[in-house]
Chains A and B, each alone.
Chain A
Amino acid sequence: MPQASGAAEARPLRIVIVGHVDHGKSTFVGRLLHETGSLPEGRLEAVRAMSARRGMPFEWAFVLDAMQSERDQGITIDTTQIRFATAARPYLVIDAPGHKEFLKNMVTGAAQAEAALLVIDAAEGIQEQSRRHGYLLHLLGIRQVAVLVNKMDLVDFSADRFGRVAEDFRAYLAELGVEPACMVPISAREGDNLVRHSPRMPWYQGPSVVQALDSFAYTSLPVDRPLRMPVQDVYKFDQRRIVAGRIEAGRLAVGDTVLFSPSNKTARIRTIEAWHVPAPPGEAVAGQSIGVTLDEPIFVERGEIMSHVEQPPVLTTVFKARIFWLGTTPLRIGSTYKLKLATTEATAVVEAIERSIDTAELRSLPPDRIERNGAGEIVLRTKRMLALDEYTANPTTGRFVLVEDHLPVGGGIVSMEGYPDQRQLVTVRATNLTQVGHAVSRTARAARNGHRGGVLWFTGLSGAGKSTLALALERELFARGFQVYVLDGDNVRSGLCRDLGFGPEDRAENIRRVGEVAALFADAGFLVVSSFISPYRADRQRAREAAGEAFHEIYVKAGLEVCEQRDPKGLYKRARKGEIKEFTGVSSPYEPPEAPELVVPTDELAIEDCVALLLRYVEERFRA
Chain B
Amino acid sequence: MDHLDQLEAESVYILREAKAKLDKLAILWSLGKDSNVVLWLCRKAFFGHVPFPVMHIDTGRKFPEMYAFRDRYAVEWGLTFLREECPPLEATDPTLPPAARSAARKTLGLKAAIEKHGFEGLILGIRRDEEAIRAKERYFSPRDESGQWQLKDQPPEFWGQYMTSFPQGTHVRVHPILHWTELDIWKYTRREGIPVIELYFAKNGKRYRSLGDQDITFPVPSTADSLDAIIAELETTKVPERAGRAMDHEAEDSFERLRTAGYM
Q: Which A residues are closer than 8 A to B by beta carbons? A: 1-5, 8-11, 39-41, 50, 64, 66-69, 77-83, 104-105, 107-108, 111-112, 140, 221, 232-233, 235, 237-238, 240, 242, 244, 246, 273-276, 285, 287-289, 291, 302, 326, 340, 343, 396, 399-401, 403, 405-408, 411
Contact = CB atoms under 8 A, between A and B. Distances in A.
Given A78-B136, A80-B132, A273 B47 contact: yes
Contacts of B2: 1-5, 9, 11
Instruction: Name the 10 nearest CB pairs between A and B, nearest first.
Output: A66-B132, A111-B158, A41-B238, A11-B3, A104-B156, A289-B12, A401-B161, A4-B2, A68-B253, A289-B9
B13 A340 contact: no
A11 B6 CA distance: 9
B149 to A, nearest CB: 12
A408 B161 contact: yes
B203 interface: no
Interface residues of B, number: 53
A1 B1 contact: yes
Given A80-B132, A107-B156, A287 B47 contact: no
B229 interface: no
B95 interface: no
Contact of B159 (A235, A237, A289, A399): A399
A78 B252 CA distance: 18
A68 B13 CA distance: 33
Contacts of B235: 8
**Max chain A Cβ within 10 angstroms of own Cβ: one of B3, B138, B235:** B3
B16 A107 contact: no
B156 A108 contact: yes
Contact of B136 (A79, A289, A407): A79
Contacts of A78: 136, 151-152, 154
Nearest to B252: A68
Contacts of A5: 2
A559 to B, nearest CB: 39
17 contacts: A10-B3, A39-B238, A50-B252, A66-B133, A69-B256, A82-B135, A104-B155, A112-B158, A221-B1, A232-B17, A235-B46, A242-B47, A288-B5, A396-B159, A401-B158, A406-B165, A408-B161
A246 B161 contact: no
A340 B3 contact: no
Nearest to B158: A111
A522 to B, nearest CB: 46
Interface in B1-27: 1-6, 8-10, 12-13, 16-17, 19-20
Contact of A285 (B1, B128, B166): B1
B132 A406 contact: no
Interface centre among B45, B51, B235 (most CB of A within 10 A): B45
Contacts of B252: 50, 68
Contacts of B128: 81
A232 B20 contact: yes
Contacts of A302: 20
Contacts of B16: 232-233, 244, 289
Nearest to B5: A1
Contacts of B158: 107-108, 111-112, 140, 401, 408, 411
